[in-house]
Amino acid sequence: MTVLVTGAAGFIGFHISRRLLNDGIPVIGYDNINDYYDVNLKKARLNELKKISKINNTKFSLIKNDLENNEALNMAFQGKLLNGDNLNIGIPKKVIHLAAQAGVRYSIENPNAYIQSNIVGFGNILENSRKHRIEHLVYASSSSVYGGNTNVPFSEKHCVDHPVSLYAATKKSNELMAHSYSHLYKIPMTGLRFFTVYGPFGRPDMALFIFTKAILENKPINLFNNGNMIRDFTYIDDIVESVIRVLKKPPKSTIGFDTKNPDPSKSWAPYNVFNIGNSSPTPLLEYVQAIEKSLNKISQRKLLPMQPGDVEQTASDCKSLEKWINFQPKTSIQDGVDNFTKWYVDFYNCSQINIS
């Protein structure tokens, strides 16, 4: 079973691809390796995937291109390069779509990047899933779809009609687009609303990376809303285990779906949408304390007002997902932070790392 993973050079895409390769499953990676953040980190992830592929004798191929390039994407769905060369890796029948223009705050500065990648690109993913009769499309949504909702913990049954950033709006659009394709063409599709994922090889624009770097460099950390934020921090290994289990269990139509009183968490189509989080919201200041403990170093703090597009609190109700896949996240905040800081210190101080 070959799996197509878009965003394979990204944080979550890398970890999921690594798990698939370790499980003996061939992976076709698709990524444009853009410079939204340090390209060298993305290259290091890809080098790690190539190394694991070689050790396990499990095939991995990367296609470097944009989601907006429908011709290149169409060939990837056939297990081929844009020039028609066969990758000799198999034709993917399942897709994990993680590629997107990330970042809530950046969407305010550069909205067109989100329209092209997250809307046009996702449309190409759906059309190719239809054309090539994909058996299951698992795609990344986001906890940001809950927007202005302050009724926590967030449930899939809640309204998601009030996004507070363009990024959130594109992710809700993805859910609506996926549902329409699932309904029209009976393609099993599962959307996953990720809640603040963290861990080794994490993104440099995320709080854990920013705070760790600043503390080690004796620089102040910026705490927005004066630090009065709560996030449902979710460790990457728990995310990976959940996604792999979801991939193995395509959704089916809900029997007896009530169209007069529709439940947003269910559908008559073979379609699911799940929260995927830790279900244990943590105040930001406690998160900072965990980093300080891990580094054995106290931070310098700069208190700032709330930023546009941000929300004060996220908290996930993941009972539906846990029931579906029979799995609950189990990594504590301190253990997860310790794993990240150990990786960070090793990675940025180890001359043997090859990122060429």
State the catalytic residues.
167
Closest CA to 203 of 12, 7, 5: 12
Tokens of 306: 């709330």
For 106, what's the count of Cα atoms within 13 Å in the CB-facing half-sphere?
13
Closest CA to 144 of 103, 176, 198: 103
Angle between helices 11-22 and 236-247 (to 10 degrees): 60
The single residue listed with the structure tokens 């944009």 is 66
Q: Is 126 helix (H, G, I), strand (E, B) or coil?
A: helix
Identify the helix (H) or strand (E) that includes residue 282: strand 282-283
Q: What is the amino acid identity at position 309?
A: G
Are residues 119 and 107 in contact, defined by beta-carbon separation less than 8 angstroms?
A: no
Closest CA to 279 of 229, 332, 224: 332
Q: Exposed, middle or buried by CB within 10 Å (0-12, 13-18, 19+), for 241?
A: middle
The single residue listed with the structure tokens 């302050």 is 150
* DSSP H stretches of helix in 159-299: 166-185, 207-216, 236-247, 284-295
